[in-house]
Amino acid sequence: MSFKDRLCAGEPLIGTFLKTPSPMVCEVLGRTDCDAVCIDAEHAPFDRRDIDVCIHALEGAQKPSIVRIPALRSEYILNALDCGAEAILAPHIASAEDAEFLVNQSTYGRGRGFAGSSRAAGYMARGMAEHIETSNAGRTVIAQLEDKEALDNLDAILAVEGIDCFFIGRADLTVSLGLNNPNDAAVIEAVEHICRSAVGAGRRVGMFTSNLDEIPRWRKLGATLFLLGSDHSMMLEGANSLTSKVRAHF
C-alpha cells in the first residue's frame, strides 16, 4: 500500500523530521523502520536543490517523503511536488480559504502548474494525461492546524474536501493561545477538541509530541499519524547516551 492509502485507511504511522539538508542522512533514515521522513523546509535551511536531492535519496531507499513547506505559497507546493514528494505538509492553515488554496495548488486542473520534465513526471517518460491522473490520485495533502484562528474556524476547515490529514502543531498553538507551556490545560483542551472534531467529521489526525508516553492518549482520541523527533534529536540523544554509558565505567 502507498503512504496515502495507509494514512487514509487509518493505519498508525510513525515518521520523523529531517532538519539537516543531507541526502546521506536521508539514506540512513531510509534504513530505519520509520513509515515516512518529513523534510522540514519550514524550520530548517532547505532550498529547492536540497529538497530535490533529499527526496531523491529517500526515493532510492523506498521511503515515503513528506515536505513541510516554508509557507502557504503556490511555488513551495509546486516545487515539492515536482521534485517527487509523496506528501505536502502545509503550516498555518487557519481558515477554509487557506485549506482550499492548499488543495487547489496541489491539484492539476484546480491551480497546480504543469511540467512534464520533472522527477514527479518521470522526466517526460509519462504523458500528460497519465501524469495528471497519477499525481492527483497519489499525492497526500496534510494541513497543519496551529493557530487560535484555526480553532475559531475549525468546522469550516474540516469541511474542505481534498485534505487527507489534519496535523496539530502543538507548540505554535501554545504560543498562539498566549501561553508558554504545551502541557497547559488550555492547550490540551484545544488539541482534544481538534481530535474529536476531526474524527467526528470523518477526517484523519496527526500530531507531534515530545512526550512519547502521551501517545496512547492521543491514539484513543483518533490520532494516527505521529511525526516524532528529528535527526538532530536522535544525534543528541545517541551521543549523550553513549557518553553517559562510557563515563559510568570511569
Kindly indicate the confidence band of residue 52, based on its pLDDT and cuts at 50, 70 and 90: very high
Q: What is the pLDDT of the chain when averaged over all its residues? A: 97
DSSP state of 168: E
What cell does 121 get? 513526471
pLDDT of residue 159: 98
Task: Round to whole Å and give the CA distance between 154 and 150.
Answer: 5
pLDDT of residue 49: 97
Task: Round to whole Å and give the CA distance between 74 and 55.
Answer: 19
pLDDT of residue 85: 98
**pLDDT above 70 as % of the chain:** 100
pLDDT digits (tens, 9 = 90+) for 72-87: 999 999 999 999 999 9
Task: Round to whole Å and give the CA distance between 208 and 129.
Answer: 37
Task: Round to whole Å and give the CA distance between 232 and 214.
Answer: 21
Kindly indicate the confidence band of residue 210, based on its pLDDT and cuts at 50, 70 and 90: very high
Strand partners for 39: 18, 67
Cβ neighbours for 188, distance < 8 A, ≥ 6 positions apart:
none
What cell does 190 get? 484545544
pLDDT digits (tens, 9 = 90+) for 99-151: 999 999 999 999 999 999 999 999 999 999 999 999 999 999 999 999 999 99
> Quick one: average pLDDT of 176-186?
98
Helices within 41-73 (DSSP H only): 48-60
What cell does 71 get? 509557507
Q: Domain count for the chain, please give it.
A: 1
Let me know: does 195 contact 223? Beta carbons within 8 Å.
yes
Expressed as residue numbers, the domain containing 204 is 3-247
Of 43, 56, 92, 232, which is the active-site residue? 43
Task: Round to whole Å and give the CA distance between 132 and 120.
Answer: 10
pTM strictly above 0.85: yes
pLDDT of residue 72: 98
Within 10 angstroms of residue 104's Cβ, the number of other Cβ atoms is: 15
pLDDT digits (tens, 9 = 90+) for 150-163: 999 999 999 999 99
Closest CA to 14 of 54, 66, 62, 56: 66
At 51, the amino acid letter reads I
Kindly indicate the confidence band of residue 219, based on its pLDDT and cuts at 50, 70 and 90: very high
pLDDT of residue 64: 98
Cβ neighbours for 235, distance < 8 A, ≥ 6 positions apart:
none
- Which CATH number do you get for residue 44? 3.20.20.60
Give catalytic status of residue 232 as yes or no: no
